Structure 1
């Protein structure tokens, strides 16, 4: 597996090796021992998957507050998407900064998002499927979000003919309106 760090502490792009032949490919997309040695020690408790039928679907920016804060390992298993993580760790030198990665079924790349980040994505093709492991179960009472188009964050989303999103995601607060949910510890994890 190849590992790439970003300028925002804690985020990592993981590219599993694919073994190709005339049948297609084989890839080990997650190995706990390698992950713990190279990325983070984490116990995933749930795998999530969503299908977005239309290109231009935006989901996010989501996170959960303590004690149900989630770290995520995200990948695209069908189609393409722009995956985004925003640093929301109070005291972080990159607070409010964002990183994006194009994840696709073709490139097989994954994005590691530790606790202390808001996560969202925009689909770039119809019938895109995202799959991700999380370190804590979903809890509706701790479900939080930030507005996807907060001008203070300034995410450069792709131009699309269609924009599809839930009413809930349209009404998330701005980053400046959030309480301090996470504190930067300098380690990339909260």
Structure 2
């Protein structure tokens, strides 16, 4: 795997290094030793799938505050999406900055999102499936969120959402 930094401290773009032969390709998607060597210790406790049949579906911006803070590895396993991470860590050099990358089944890239960073995505085509690997496991009742179009973040989304949950559309502005 190759790890590349983004505009948000600790958020990493993860690219596979497939081994190819006449049968096709094989690639490692997650390895605790390689993540630790990249400065991002990560051993998933839970794997989840988000299915999104409608293009321009927006989910986010979500996180779990301490003591249930999560680290996530997110990838599109079908379709395409614009994946976004916003730094909510007050002591971070990239506080309130965001990073956005296109993830697709074709490019096989993933985004690693550390604890204290909000996450959201916008699907870019129909039938986009998003695989989440999470550590520690999700704790219901402890989730938090901020509005996807909050002026404090000024995220440059590639399109307006066509579908968004009432909860995600009505989160309050970031008050940090």
Map of 1:108 onto structure 2: 108
Instruction: Tell me the distance in 2 between the aligned counterparts of 1:84 and 1:164.
Output: 17
Given the two structures, how large is their TM-score scaled by the length of structure 2? 0.93
Instruction: Tell me the distance in 2 between the aligned counterparts of 1:149 and 1:115.
Output: 21
Which digits, 9 at most, give the CA deviation of each residue in 1:54-80, with x for residues without a partner? 110000000001111101011110000
Map of 2:89 onto structure 1: 89
Structure 1 consecutive aligned stretches of length 4 or more whose deviation exceeds 6 Å: none
Alignment of 1:1-190 (within 5 A): 1-159=1-159, 163-176=162-175, 178=176
Given the two structures, how large is their TM-score scaled by the length of structure 1? 0.87
What's the offset of the Cα at 1:7? 3.1
Query: Is contact 2:87–2:96 with CA below 8 Å preserved after alignment?
Result: yes
User: Helix, strand or coil: the match of 2:163?
Assistant: coil
What's the offset of the Cα at 1:21? 4.2
Query: Is contact 1:61–1:120 with CA below 8 Å preserved after alignment?
Result: yes
What's the offset of the Cα at 1:141? 2.2
User: Higher mean Cα deviation, 39-48 or 121-130?
Assistant: 39-48
Instruction: Tell me the distance in 2 between the aligned counterparts of 1:127 and 1:121.
Output: 14
Query: Is contact 1:96–1:175 with CA below 8 Å preserved after alignment?
Result: no
Query: Is contact 1:12–1:39 with CA below 8 Å preserved after alignment?
Result: no
Q: Which runs of no fewer than 5 residues in structure 2 stay unpaired?
A: none
Query: Is contact 2:76–2:103 with CA below 8 Å preserved after alignment?
Result: yes
Q: Which runs of no fewer than 5 residues in structure 1 stay unpaired?
A: 179-190
Count of aligned residue pairs for this structure pair: 176
User: Helix, strand or coil: the match of 2:164?
Assistant: coil
